[in-house]
């Protein structure tokens, strides 16, 4: 029997002998503080629970295979420093479509707890811990929504070791009842090193899932292709088969996967534009005249052993993106569209300039959408009237650049708008550089800004500016050399123009030096 068929078989693991030798016989928890709890097998730390954010991370899911680094809790515990796969076992509720839609489609009408506005509702979660016996470790995450106490949900979790998968497993039974037919997310999947923009640190290149038609679909991680029709087709390419799976591949330490064992509604996945985390969502139930709606999902969270992960990767095939090069695209073509719409709308032929770490970016070609691209998308419209325009008639090293058009009394800028947040190394010396050309710029001028940030972009922990340049100039080189802070891990890039006039930017780089 192949590993893939083992994963896909619909078995009730709790009724089988699932333990091997000493593994899994001494599972227990160890409280660190009010926020963190270690999951241990004997004296080995194999997982970490963050009660504040309601997450469970597998640190070392495979006995005998070390974690990527010592199992310690970072000073700031967030996405850039996770070690292994992480799930959030919560119910997140949405009103209306949870995937990007055509730009001509109106927003859905709010209902239920969304009557005051659209968005996403997340609950307050309380963790309780049960028995530690017979190789089974049990716990429960109970959820309450402060806007409507009629909504009740929980995730009951049992942890054990499965010798067939060579992995520790979290078996999760999730239930939700609510008076309205919400789009309900039951699990968020992420992994450490997933969205790192530094090629030597990015650990996964693809997301794979089992589709109802029998395919194992592969999406190469890419900062523009998540916008395509296929990546937002919850009834088509993004469906996950009953007893199917979704996971990240492939890494020598851990390949995290969620297997859908059972669900009373069809399941699909939606990909985040930034972290590449996956939102596992039940389709909206059909309206009822009375009574409460019910959602029930059982899933397992584990890791595919590295020496077996290639079996699944070889079986996979590329997603059908559904790109339409002839269709009018309002997102790219209309002057009032901004980068904020990328979270709401499909882009039928996503063509954007890219920002690659430790490389000069000349903006001559669009980011390819069919391959793994370790890069970030820079927002630039195809409309000449837009204040941030990808100009094909002016360039420093070639024929293209990004042009900003100033407005009185305001700062005009463009930024990274898709793909990974730039990761930076603490106490590392960097050179921020580029070329800019100005025309009748009056005011502070044109500059390139790189902010060191924490968990949020504002306020920055430190800012580094190359420039400014003003008046009317030919192409002018600007740079700023700086050393990052001792606690640096993330940054954000902006091209800015403050004042009237126009400025073009080309050959932008953030390089280690």
CATH code: domain 351-512 is: 2.60.120.260
Up-side HSE of residue 30: CA atoms within 13 Å toward CB?
12
The per-residue pLDDT for 10 is: 41
The per-residue pLDDT for 445 is: 96
Q: Is 157 helix (H, G, I), strand (E, B) or coil?
A: strand
Lowest mean pLDDT across 11-15, 72-76, 199-203, 482-486 = 11-15
Token pair 């949900």 in the structure block, residue: 153
Q: Enumerate the domain spans of the chain.
A: 3-25+91-318, 351-512
Mean pLDDT for 471-483 is 98
Instruction: Say if CB 161 and CB 170 are below 8 A apart.
Output: no
414: which strand partners? 495
Kindly provide the residue ranges of all beta strands, DSSP E only, lying in 124-230, ordered along the sequence: 124-133, 136-144, 152-162, 167-178, 183-191, 206-210, 216-220
Residue 37: Cβ-neighbour burial (10 angstroms; 0-12, 13-18, 19+): buried
Tens of pLDDT along 314-361? Answer: 999 999 999 999 999 999 999 999 999 998 899 999 999 999 999 999
Token pair 């126009």 in the structure block, residue: 502
Tens of pLDDT along 253-312? Answer: 999 999 999 999 999 999 999 999 999 999 999 888 888 999 999 999 999 998 889 889
DSSP string across 384-451? TTSSEEEESS--SSSS-EEEEE-BTTBEEEEEEEESPPPB--TT-EEEEEEEEEEEEEEEEEEEEEEE
Domains 3-25+91-318 and 351-512 share a fold: no
CATH for 3-25+91-318 (1.20.1050, 1.10.1060, 3.20.20, 2.70.98):
2.70.98
Instruction: Say if CB 58 and CB 301 are below 8 A apart.
Output: yes
Round the CA-based radius of gyration of the chain to a whole number and report it.
24
Answer whether residue 159 shows pLDDT above 50. Answer: yes
Up-side HSE of residue 104: CA atoms within 13 Å toward CB?
5
Mean pLDDT for 125-147 is 91
What is the Cα 315 distance to its own chain's centre? Answer: 24
- Non-local CB neighbours of 211 within 8 Å, separated by 6+ positions: 217, 237, 239, 240, 241, 244
Tens of pLDDT along 177-208? Answer: 999 999 999 999 999 999 999 999 999 999 99
Token duo for residue 237: 């390419």
**Could you give the CA distance from residue 22 to residue 45 in angstroms, rounded to a whole number?**
15
**Could you give the CA distance from residue 34 to residue 52 in angstroms, rounded to a whole number?**
8
175: which strand partners? 154, 296
Tens of pLDDT along 285-296? Answer: 988 888 899 999
DSSP-derived letter for residue 349 is S
The per-residue pLDDT for 6 is: 58
Element at 246 (helix H, strand E) = strand 245-249
Mean pLDDT for 504-513 is 98
Mean pLDDT for 428-436 is 98
Kindly provide the residue ranges of all beta strands, DSSP E only, lying in 59-162, ordered along the sequence: 85-88, 92-94, 120-121, 124-133, 136-144, 152-162
Question: Dihedrals φ, ψ of 17, to 5°?
Answer: -80, 110
Answer whether residue 151 shows pLDDT above 70. Answer: yes
* Mean pLDDT for the chain overall: 92
Q: Is 327 helix (H, G, I), strand (E, B) or coil?
A: coil
pLDDT above 70 covers a percentage of the chain that reads 96
The per-residue pLDDT for 15 is: 40
Answer whether residue 21 shows pLDDT above 70. Answer: no
Give the Cβ contact number of residue 105 at 10 Å: 13
Instruction: Say if CB 39 and CB 48 are below 8 A apart.
Output: yes
- Residue-wise over 204-221: b if at least 16 C-beta within 10 A, else e? bbbbbbbbeeebbbbbbb
Token pair 């199917």 in the structure block, residue: 244
The per-residue pLDDT for 5 is: 61
Q: In the structure, what pLDDT confidence band is assigned to residue 365 with cuts at 50, 70 and 90?
A: very high
Tens of pLDDT along 83-111? Answer: 999 999 999 999 877 789 998 888 888 98
**Could you give the CA distance from residue 93 to residue 106 in angstroms, rounded to a whole number?**
20
Instruction: Say if CB 413 and CB 496 are below 8 A apart.
Output: yes
Report the Cα–Cα distance between both ends of the chain, in Å, rounded: 51
Token pair 């916008």 in the structure block, residue: 227
């Amino acid at each position: 029997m192949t590993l893939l068929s083992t994963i896909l078989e619909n078995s009730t693991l709790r009724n089988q002998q699932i333990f091997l030798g000493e593994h899994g016989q001494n599972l227990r928890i160890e409280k660190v503080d009010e926020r963190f709890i270690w999951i241990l097998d004997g004296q080995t730390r194999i997982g970490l629970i963050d009660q504040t954010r309601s997450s469970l991370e597998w640190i070392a899911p495979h006995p005998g295979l070390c974690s990527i680094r010592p199992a310690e809790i970072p000073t700031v515990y967030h996405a850039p420093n996770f070690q292994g796969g992480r799930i959030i076992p919560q119910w997140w509720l949405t009103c209306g479509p949870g995937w990007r839609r055509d730009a001509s489609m109106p927003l859905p009408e709010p209902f239920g707890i969304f009557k005051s506005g659209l968005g996403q509702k997340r609950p307050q979660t309380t963790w309780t811990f049960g028995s530690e016996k017979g190789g089974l470790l049990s716990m429960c995450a109970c959820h309450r929504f402060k806007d409507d106490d009629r909504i009740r949900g929980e995730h009951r979790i049992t942890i054990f070791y499965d010798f067939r998968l060579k992995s520790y497993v979290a078996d999760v039974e999730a239930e939700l009842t609510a008076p309205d037919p919400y789009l309900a997310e039951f699990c968020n999947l992420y992994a450490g090193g997933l969205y790192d923009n530094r090629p030597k640190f990015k650990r996964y290149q693809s997301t794979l899932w089992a589709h109802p038609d029998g395919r194992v679909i592969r999406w190469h991680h890419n900062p523009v292709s998540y916008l395509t029709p296929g990546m937002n087709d919850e009834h088509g390419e993004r469906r996950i088969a009953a007893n199917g799976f979704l996971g990240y591949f492939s890494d020598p330490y851990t390949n995290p996967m969620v297997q859908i064992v059972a669900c009373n509604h069809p399941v699909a996945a939606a990909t985040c534009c930034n972290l590449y985390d996956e939102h596992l969502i039940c389709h909206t139930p059909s309206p009822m005249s009375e009574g409460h709606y019910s959602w029930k999902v059982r899933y397992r969270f584990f890791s595919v052993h590295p020496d077996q992960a290639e079996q699944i990767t070889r079986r996979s095939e590329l997603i059908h993106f559904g790109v339409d090069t002839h269709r009018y695209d309002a997102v790219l073509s209309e002057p009032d569209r901004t980068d904020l719409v990328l979270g709401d709308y499909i882009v039928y032929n996503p063509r954007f300039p890219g920002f690659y770490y430790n490389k000069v970016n000349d903006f001559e070609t669009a980011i390819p959408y069919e391959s793994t691209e370790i890069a970030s998308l820079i927002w630039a419209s195809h409309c000449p009237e837009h204040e941030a325009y990808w100009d094909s008639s002016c360039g420093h090293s070639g024929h293209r650049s990004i042009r900003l058009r100033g407005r009185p009394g305001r700062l005009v800028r463009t930024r990274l708008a898709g793909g990974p947040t730039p990761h930076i190394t603490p106490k590392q010396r960097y050179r921020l550089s580029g070329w800019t050309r100005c025309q009748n710029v009056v005011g502070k001028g044109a500059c390139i800004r790189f902010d060191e940030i924490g968990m949020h972009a504002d306020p920055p922990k430190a800012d580094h500016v190359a420039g400014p340049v003003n008046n009317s100039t030919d192409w002018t080189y600007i740079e700023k050399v700086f050393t990052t802070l001792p606690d640096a891990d993330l940054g954000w890039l902006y091209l800015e123009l403050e004042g009237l006039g126009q400025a073009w930017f080309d050959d932008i780089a953030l390089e280690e030096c």
